[in-house]
Amino acid sequence: MKIAFVIGWVFVAIEVLFAASFFFAKGGNDASGKGMAAGFGMVLLPIALLAGALLLWAQLSSSPGLRYAALLAVSLPFLVGGGLWVSNWAEARRDTHNREQAGRFPDPRLTNIAAALDQKDYPAAEALLKQSAAIDWTAVDAHGKTLLEHAVNRVLEDYSGDAGVNGVTILLAHGAPLPNAELVQAIFEGNSPGAVALLAAVLQAGVDPNSKDRFGEPFVHLSHVFRGREKLELLAQHGADLHVLSSRTDRPQWNALMTAIYMKSEEPAKFLRQHGVSATYQAPDGQSAEKLMAERPLR
């Protein structure tokens, strides 16, 4: 028990020093940051001192229950912190494992192609794709993703600026089937640097510009997404119907301009107006772009 109390006093000392450190922390360059740091100190320091008082009382007491309770109280921050550290470590390990498993196919050739695309080694990927054996485009990796889906996901996950859209273009050029509606929606809604170029690539390959999301809503009504105007311009360049009406029950037969104004998407709204989408058209619920503009004016 003596060793336990020694450890307990070490914990108390650490807790007191930690709480006191808030009074000396810079907490940012402004007064509010310093005040917040001092506030944490004023809350934590009395608690640490109270824990020390409890430990002293328990050490002087002959009650086993009080002693165990005091030791538990001073150890609790370390137990919680240790548990969080272990949890974060385990989660990081899982994330690393999951990422390593992505792109691992039963066919080693597909795995090698995926690896080459991940490394942006496009000549190596093309060389593998040109081998005589046919590619099984329906084969899935350890996460249930096809080779094309894997390449698209890598682009959507890449925020480095070098997104690797070329890998998707290469696969499409070598016979990969066009992405399904769910994957097209993920591309359209993507906010990584390569999302716009990726949308351009799949539209160029033949994806229908009048595609709809999983709820049946045309993409021209989803212009509030990241870089919405650029994506809307791409859809228009490939023949999308900018006048198509919404299928949503809460926006019955609204046009895309009404949706853009409702979602406060200023640049897409300007684009739609410039391309002839009516501001005076009135939907069955009585709404129009003009009315919405009066209720929700854009900047």
Task: Kindly tell me if the per-residue pLDDT of 266 is higher than 80.
Answer: yes
The position carrying tokens 């509606």 is 181
Considering the domain architecture, whether residues 173 and 278 belong to the same structural domain is answered as yes
Amino acid 32: pLDDT: 64
Which of 74, 101, 128 is the endpoint of a domain?
101
Boundary-marking domain end, from 80, 101, 122: 101
Local confidence band at 31 (pLDDT 50, 70, 90 cut-offs): low
Q: Which two tokens stand for residue 231?
A: 């994506």
Query: Is the same domain home to 97 and 121?
Result: no
The verdict on 85 and 131 lying in the same domain is: no
- Residues 36 and 132 occupy one common structural domain: no
**Residue 9 maps to a domain:** yes
Is residue 180 located within the same domain as residue 75? no
Q: Are residues 287 and 179 in the same domain?
A: yes
Of residues 132 and 105, more confidently modeled: 105
Q: Is the pLDDT of residue 140 over 60?
A: yes
Q: Residue 252 is encoded by which pair of tokens? A: 């019955």
pLDDT of residue 265: 94
Residue among 268, 217, 215, 207 at smallest CA distance from 238? 207
| Within-domain flag for 30 | yes
Whether residue 212 lies inside any domain: the answer is yes
- Over 60: is that where the pLDDT of 50 sits? yes
Residues 6 or more apart whose CB falls under 8 angstroms from that of 38 comprise 22, 23, 27
> Is residue 168 within 8 Å of residue 203, measured between CB atoms?
no
**What's the CA angle centered on 265, arms 202 and 216, to 5 degrees?**
50
Both tokens assigned to 256: 């895309």
In a domain, 107, yes or no: no
250 belongs to a structural domain: yes
Cβ contacts of residue 228 below 8 Å, gap of 6+?
Answer: 222, 260, 265, 267, 268
pLDDT in tens, 168-223: 999 999 999 999 989 999 999 999 999 999 999 999 999 999 999 988 999 999 99
Question: Per the structure block, which two tokens stand in for 246?
Answer: 């919404």
Partnered with residue 194 across adjacent β-strands are none
Same domain membership, residue 154 and residue 87:
no
Last residue of a domain, which of 101, 127, 142? 101
108 within domain boundaries:
no
Residue 136: exposed, middle, or buried by beta-carbon count in 10 A (0-12, 13-18, 19+)? Answer: middle
Evaluate if residue 59 carries a pLDDT over 90. Answer: no
Lowest mean pLDDT among 108-112, 131-135, 142-146: 131-135
Give the range of the structural domain holding residue 203, as residue numbers without chain letter. 113-295
Quote the mean pLDDT of the chain. 90
Domain match, 73 and 121 both: no
Cβ count near 290 (within 10 Å): 16
Q: What is the pLDDT of residue 224?
A: 94
- DSSP at 220: G
Average pLDDT on 276-283 reads: 96
Same domain flag for 96 and 130: no
| Pair 150, 284 in one domain | yes
Q: What is the CATH number of the domain that holds 204?
A: 1.25.40.20
Q: What is the pLDDT of residue 289?
A: 96
User: Is pLDDT larger for residue 245 or for residue 85?
Assistant: 245
Number of domains in the chain: 2
Q: Where are the alpha helices (DSSP H) in the chain?
A: 2-24, 31-60, 64-101, 108-118, 122-129, 147-157, 165-173, 181-189, 195-205, 228-237, 256-262, 266-274, 289-295
pLDDT in the model for residue 124 = 96
- Are 25 and 143 contained in the same domain? no
Section 112-133 average pLDDT? 93
Q: What percent of the chain has pLDDT over 70?
A: 96
106 belongs to a structural domain: no
Asked if 180 and 277 sit in the same domain, the reply is: yes
Q: What is the mean pLDDT of residues 278-299?
A: 91
Q: Which of 27-41, 140-154, 241-255, 276-290 has the lowest mean pLDDT?
A: 27-41
